[in-house]
Amino acid sequence: MAGGVSVSYWLGEKTHQESLYDDWVNSMAAEVLLRNGVPAKRDGVRFIVRSVHLPEGLPVSVDLVVVTDQERDHLLGIGDTFPVREETWVLDRVENLPTLDWRVVLRKVE
């Protein structure tokens, strides 16, 4: 190693560990995590969850607002897709229900 960087890096080759890290970073960049009452912004797009519904005996639904050059409302269930500019996104999951510390995870579809 020269200066803390492996020789394979200097030759333009990635080690297995570097490739795994890059895959992890790319997958995280394709997700947006929304917490209760906290909007998120990614690439100039604002994502806001108005509410999460968990009616007894029915699947969860999320009332989502996406703001680009215009505002669009979406009522989504897990696995439902929605457009964001030229991309397609999906409601991947909702974590920590039924607590008030829920998290909505959106994922860009590749």
C-alpha to C-alpha distance for 35 and 48, rounded to whole angstroms: 9
C-alpha to C-alpha distance for 22 and 24, rounded to whole angstroms: 5
Domain membership of residue 1 (yes or no) is: no
Kindly report, residue by residue over 5-62, the tens digit of the pLDDT.
Answer: 433 333 445 455 544 444 444 444 689 999 988 999 988 999 999 999 988 899 999 9
Domain membership of residue 82 (yes or no) is: yes
Domain membership of residue 19 (yes or no) is: no
Domain membership of residue 86 (yes or no) is: yes
Q: Which domain holds residue 47?
A: 31-108
- Full-model pTM: 0.72
Q: What Å distances lie between residue 61 and 1, 54, 94, 104, CA to CA? A: 52, 7, 9, 10
Kindly report, residue by residue over 65-80, the tens digit of the pLDDT.
Answer: 999 999 999 999 999 9
- Structural domain count of the chain: 1
